[in-house]
Structure 1
Amino acid sequence: MKSSPTVPFEFSDAARAHQRIQELEQELQAAKEVARTMENRLGHLINYVQEGVLLTDTDGRISLVNERFCQLWDMPQPAAYWIGRPWQEMAALMKGLAADGAAFEKRIHTLRALGQPVFNERVDLSDGRILERDFIPVQQVDTLSARSMIRLRDATDYHRAAEQLRAVASIPGQNPNPIFRIDGEGQVLYNNPAASALHAGLNETDQNRLLAKIQRLASAALSQDAPWQVDIPVGSSFYAVFVVPFPEEGYANLYLVNITKRMLVEQELNHAKDEAEAAVRARENFLANMSHEIRTPMNGVLGMATQLSKTRLDGRQQDLLRIIRNSGQHLLSIINDVLDMAKITSGKLEFEQTAFNLCDSMAEALQPLVHQAIEKGITVAGTPLKATCSMPWVVGDPYRLNQVLINLMANAVKFTEPGGHITVVGQQLAATAETLTVEFLVTDTGIGIPTEQLDRIFEGFTQAYADTTRRFGGTGLGLSISRAIIEQLGGTLTVDSEVGKGSTFRFQLTLPRTAPQLAATAASSFDTGALRGRRVLLVEDNEINRDVARMLLEEWGVEVDEAENGQQGVEHYQQGQYDAILMDIQMPGMSGLEATALIRQLPDAAKASVPILALTANAFRADYVKYLAAGMNDCLTKPFEEVELYQILEKLLPPAAAPKSSYDLTKLRALAHGREAFVVKIIRSFLLNMPGSLVQLETAAARGDWQQVAAIVHHIKPGIESLGVQDVAGALQQLEHEVPALAGVEQGAAHTAVARVVAQVKRALHELPGELPAE
């Protein structure tokens, strides 16, 4: 029997190998299924964790990434988009979001190259967030093929909280101010470096003092359970200590702040304040003294000029007298301006509160300047306030308001050339039952003001042009005073100007309204005769000012006695009877205030209450208040106008009994033996001839021709005696017999005698027509 062929060994091995291959392929497929299942499960799971997770494979492709990872990096695509893409593609987007893109990119390459794990690494983003990442290099995760894994989480809140905690924890240590914590037993629980440095910088004595002070402060704060502050010296320095108790914890914190510089500055400000106040007082005293020293002789100059104007003068003499008066008034205005500036800078500018007609007051104030402008060849026009305001009665200070308008108008006249034009306008802007709002404008065609100088012209002692004082005069105070007055009254003063074309100054004010008042008595008729026969004591150390006051008083029929100082004044007053006292303030020996105090203390109530009028060269309201407080009834500032003196005396003196007659016809009637025609003839002759004789008498006295005075007195004496003219016998005797022998010596007494004779005879001339029969 033939045997079957044998199967080769190789064939058998190949079959088994093929079978094994199939088995392995099946196992591989199963493994892949498991891997896919695991990947699916892992991908499903990591989408629910709070961290971001990224896996890259050995080829550098993203094999796994969750949505949280994409959200943390603000990826515009979902996680599925990135599966299988190169990690560099995602890194490029991350780089743009990182705070430092270049450093971020470099760090990624470094981590992958090193292959070392890194945990909790901080990544700062440009939007301010802070991420933390873990970089974990891996070769195989079970059946997953991976090279690295990145875990990512948002640590912004954590890092910010940690930074705040670190900042808070470092405050005491970093604080440059000393901080101590002391318990109720006085133990120092804590002191920061600044406190240690403070303590170490002190000597042993000052260290013990500091410790004792802060222990007492801590104990007091804990016992009172209230924070408080105190300043203490520490060595050569000063510290403000803020004490904050924590009773529940059983300690108090003390925070020290070095205030040495502040204390030194305050001390310097106080040495400075005292010096400034002393300087202000010194300036005020200087200005008061200057005012007094200038006003005193000015009173004599202007007063004598007034008396001279009442005598017979030729044209040349009248011109010279006018120059004297104008120059004196100009000097007085400068003094007033300087004093006003001093009052403004010290906040003591005074304002009256009186009722007045605003329209009439301003118009009257402008009249002299209008005439001055016309004389200069300037045309003046305008609109008066009454054109738009039917009820211009207000309450305020007419002098100060007039001062402003006068300053503006005076400047317009000063800076406008002949042929120019000035316009003054007053107009009502608004009115209520309580207030009146007005505006005044002064426009000129003068030289104008440069734009750069418009603000400076309102500064004190400032003028628009460097040569203004040389060309036009002035102190440069008028506008600054005017603006201060208007601003203190709640108004505004402004200017518009153009060089070569002129300027417009305007001010607006709102003033309280009031009902119309009775018109004041005209100054031209101020001598009502109310002072005739009154007896006044004049206490004044300046002889010229005594002469001025006496001449005025005697013209009004007042009998005057004189004293050269306060002591003499008190003695004269105690020995005589007087209706009023005119009291100077600054006198050698006893002052006017001291003399007034002694008079007010006299035991006789009637004599102690005599009216006392202060005649002073001081011009500050504070002085006026002081004089009233010292017991004086009123005050008149030198130099004064005669109408002011008359009206104040008339106000102070109570109504007098009917004055005695200025003449006595008893002797004449005795000579007439009942012939009334003879009496009338003599009176008519006296009325006809005596006025001319008085003019001759005054003219001779003015020339100092006392021989002629004696001759005239000798001629008129019989007529004066026959009519019984009162209170002139002594003066006539002096002028007829004593004065010529003096040869010009003691002319003051001679002038006084002339004034008495003239005053009494004029009074008789005024009253004698009543003795004549009606025609």
Structure 2
Amino acid sequence: MPEKNLLDYVKKGAFYKAVVEDGSDLIFIVDYFGNILYNNPSVQETVGHEADSLLNKNFFDYIEPTTLAKLKIDFEESTTKPYDESVEFRFLCKDGTFKYLEFNSINLKHKENLEGLILDCRDISQRKKDADELLRAQKAKEQFLANMSHEIRTPINGIAGMVNLLFEATSDQDRHQYLNAIKHSTENLKVIINDILDLSVIESGKLKFETIGFNIRYQLGAVVDTFTYQSKERGINLSYMISPEADHVLLGDPVRLNQILINLISNALKFTHIGEIKISVDLYKKEDARYWIKFVVSDTGVGIPEEKVDHIFDSFTQADESVTRRYGGTGLGLSIVKQLVELQNGSIEVESKENEGTKFSFIIPFRFGSEKDLVYPSGKSAASKNLIHSFKGLQVLLVEDNDINRLYALNILKKWNCRVDQAENGYTALEKLKANDYDIILMDVQMPIMDGYVATKNIRKTFPSPKKEIPIIALTANAVKGDNERCIELGMNDYLSKPFQPEDLYKVLSKFAAETARPEQDSQNVVDLTYLENVCNGDQVFIKEMIETFIKNTPIGLNEMQKSMDMAQWDDVAKVAHKIKPSISFMGLDNLKPLVKNIELYGKENYNTELIPNLVTTLSDECKKAIGELRAILEKKYPEE
């Protein structure tokens, strides 16, 4: 059909009104040879080419040479399908630079036998830049974790050695000395692990701040008290002062404030060998009900070289490489402090002179509170003393392979009058669950015979209701970003990172203690054709074709994915996932989008490939449900004539 007829049809048709006129993205209309028949004004805004300057030019002439071959293959594939999605390429801008774009295409051949495509393009330059920065950051963290292996092994070796000596000790003096050495090593190890865990939470963007009442004098006094013995032992004078203007009840996150102060004070003690450490708290400014409180921690320690001061808050760095060897630590403490301050809309700065001392100053805004807002050390608010949750009679299945960890959690739960049953691995947990009823499961992740991931998957897939909906809380010692997300992806309700305090366990149990079963969702449809109907402006023939295409091609794609996965050809798995993505969107299977995205990402990057089989199984199961619903829709709305 002549190009003029193609362009006239598109301009007057439903696709033109729905996609071209109302679209804020870059829109190209091209024939099957790539000849540009139309571009909308957004093209000039994004890549600089004036209106109509690209008409009758060839789309491929503006593609970066290194990406041209792949794009031609993808473009050719788009001409054979009703639609396509997320095809990436680099397009030549007016100023001579290339910009990352991606297009979704609608094939007019499948609509009215017109050999042309509507390319709905988006600028993904920032996304690509963010991905590159993320990759660089990930490599930096991997190097950091490699360096930390030495720091972690050192206290572990010390503990192991002292334990052996403790067995052989014959005097109380020797036992006391060895126990002190073990205590010191465990404290060092805890600092390292907590730094890594804190950074992981902050970097994941999942750190949340509370807004509760607290008294600055009480908070600071409690923090300073924890360092009193250590400072006296080293002959360092530790003191603090709070101005009357700042001595109020405030609303904020006292736990994170404590964390900041503990990091700064412990850092000062580490590098101060003689002299004093002072902490002061003042009102910096106030506006209406908001108070900006200024904290200053100053010491007379070794100080920081001038050329190192600007980098003191960087992650994974210390003032000098020898610092780690001499003093230990991760080099993360000050980075964590800075991020905690700034995430609360505050600011922090440092002043230091070598061999004279260092002064850290930070300012955080808090809201003004009153006595009724106070949260007391017991954890109960003065305004809600009777709301604390009772766990009496709560039936808990504790799944943990480590004897010490199991004993620790068991004693905490028994103090709260929980009824606790124990299992040493996932297989035993499944047998226990078959024979008994529980309100909640605390599931360790890494266990022999059957780990927590597999056990959770079995519960969610094979057990009848209501046992299949039982809340499962992961107990994970993993500190790497993504592991906690994996727990949620595989069906767990929440996670608790080790080492945990009793109050941490209390908080997570409180979320689910009152809800020991979830409402059934089997009756809800997984398919939603709203998006498809909007895109094609209600064209029933097109909708029927799209449904039939999904029913026909999806099982084929899933079989290809399974075969590639069985052969560990992860890149091929990613390619199939990429092909399936558009159909998932058009069928309104929004809950499957993250699943397909992860399969594609893990396969393409050859990363977390051990997760792919479970993800593919879940995807297959959900697609089978969707196909069943779609067949029913075809039979009801489009019966065979």
1:380–1:328 Cα change, 3 Å = same
1:408–1:286 Cα change, 3 Å = closer
Distance 2:252 2:514 in 1: 29
Partner AA of 1:392 in structure 2: V
Mapping 1:399-478, distance limit 5 Å:
399-418=255-274, 420-465=275-320, 467-478=322-333
Contact preservation (8 Å) 2:284, 2:293: yes
Distance 2:333 2:502 in 1: 27
Aligned counterpart, 1:583: 443
Mapping 1:321-332, distance limit 5 Å:
321-332=179-190
1:514–1:627 Cα change, 3 Å = farther
Distance 1:630 1:424 in 2: 47
Aligned counterpart, 2:580: none
- CA shift at 1:572, angstroms? 0.9
Encode CA deviations 1:379-431: one digit per residue, 9 max, x unaligned.
1222136x3234332134x333322222221122122223x111100112223
Mapping 1:692-703, distance limit 5 Å:
none
The reply to whether residue 233 of structure 1 matches residue 61 of structure 2 is yes
1:483–1:258 Cα change, 3 Å = closer
Distance 2:246 2:347 in 1: 20
1:583–1:381 Cα change, 3 Å = same
Structure 1 portions without partners, runs of 5+: 1-183, 185-211, 241-255, 657-775
The reply to whether residue 567 of structure 1 matches residue 427 of structure 2 is yes
Contact preservation (8 Å) 1:350, 1:621: no
Aligned counterpart, 2:245: 388
- CA shift at 1:511, angstroms? 2.9
1:357–1:219 Cα change, 3 Å = closer
1:281–1:575 Cα change, 3 Å = farther
Q: Per the alignment, in what secondary structure is the counterpart of residue 331 of structure 2?
A: coil
- CA shift at 1:565, angstroms? 2.9
The reply to whether residue 262 of structure 1 matches residue 95 of structure 2 is no
Q: 1:614 aligns with which of 453, 469, 474?
A: 474
The reply to whether residue 639 of structure 1 matches residue 467 of structure 2 is no
Contact preservation (8 Å) 2:251, 2:369: yes
Contact preservation (8 Å) 1:567, 1:590: yes
Distance 1:284 1:471 in 2: 22
1:586–1:315 Cα change, 3 Å = same
1:288–1:590 Cα change, 3 Å = farther
Distance 2:353 2:505 in 1: 46
1:495–1:262 Cα change, 3 Å = same
Q: Per the alignment, in what secondary structure is the counterpart of residue 496 of structure 1?
A: strand
Q: Pick which of 507-516 and 585-594 moved more.
A: 585-594
- CA shift at 1:646, angstroms? 5.6
- The Cα RMSD (Å) is 5.2
Q: Per the alignment, in what secondary structure is the counterpart of residue 208 of structure 2?
A: coil
Contact preservation (8 Å) 2:439, 2:470: yes
Mapping 1:422-571, distance limit 5 Å:
422-465=277-320, 467-514=322-369, 516-520=372-376, 522=378, 535-550=395-410, 552-553=412-413, 560-571=420-431
Distance 2:144 2:319 in 1: 26
Encode CA deviations 1:540-570: one digit per residue, 9 max, x unaligned.
2344433443455556665543323323312
Q: Per the alignment, in what secondary structure is the counterpart of residue 618 of structure 1?
A: coil
Q: Per the alignment, in what secondary structure is the counterpart of residue 423 of structure 1?
A: strand
Contact preservation (8 Å) 1:616, 1:635: yes
Aligned counterpart, 2:209: 352
Distance 1:317 1:534 in 2: 41
Contact preservation (8 Å) 2:391, 2:418: yes
Distance 1:287 1:257 in 2: 39
Contact preservation (8 Å) 2:214, 2:375: no
Partner AA of 1:438 in structure 2: I
Encode CA deviations 1:96-152: one digit per residue, 9 max, x unaligned.
xxxxxxxxxxxxxxxxxxxxxxxxxxxxxxxxxxxxxxxxxxxxxxxxxxxxxxxxx
1:654–1:512 Cα change, 3 Å = same
Alignment length, in residue pairs? 408
Distance 1:260 1:570 in 2: 63
Partner AA of 1:363 in structure 2: G
1:520–1:478 Cα change, 3 Å = same
Contact preservation (8 Å) 1:288, 1:619: no
Structure 2 portions without partners, runs of 5+: 5-31, 41-50, 69-91, 102-122, 380-387, 517-641
Bigger CA radius of gyration: 1
Q: Per the alignment, in what secondary structure is the counterpart of residue 458 of structure 1?
A: coil
Partner AA of 1:232 in structure 2: F
Contact preservation (8 Å) 2:400, 2:406: yes
The reply to whether residue 367 of structure 1 matches residue 195 of structure 2 is no
Contact preservation (8 Å) 2:212, 2:375: no
Contact preservation (8 Å) 2:36, 2:54: no
Contact preservation (8 Å) 2:200, 2:479: no
Distance 1:623 1:549 in 2: 22
Aligned counterpart, 1:246: none
Aligned counterpart, 2:111: none
What TM-score does the superposition give when structure 2 sets the normalisation length?
A: 0.51
Partner AA of 1:613 in structure 2: I
1:263–1:466 Cα change, 3 Å = closer
The reply to whether residue 376 of structure 1 matches residue 237 of structure 2 is no
Distance 1:288 1:459 in 2: 16
Distance 2:143 2:310 in 1: 30
1:564–1:314 Cα change, 3 Å = same
1:374–1:264 Cα change, 3 Å = same
Contact preservation (8 Å) 1:400, 1:485: yes
Contact preservation (8 Å) 1:287, 1:339: no
Q: 1:337 aligns with which of 195, 203, 215?
A: 195
Mapping 1:200-219, distance limit 5 Å:
none
Distance 1:415 1:621 in 2: 31
Contact preservation (8 Å) 1:388, 1:427: yes
Contact preservation (8 Å) 2:439, 2:471: yes
- CA shift at 1:573, angstroms? 1.0
1:449–1:594 Cα change, 3 Å = same
Partner AA of 1:536 in structure 2: V
What TM-score does the superposition give when structure 1 sets the normalisation length?
A: 0.43
Q: Per the alignment, in what secondary structure is the counterpart of residue 639 of structure 1?
A: coil
- CA shift at 1:480, angstroms? 2.5
Q: Per the alignment, in what secondary structure is the counterpart of residue 549 of structure 1?
A: helix
Mapping 1:42-121, distance limit 5 Å:
none
Aligned counterpart, 1:123: none
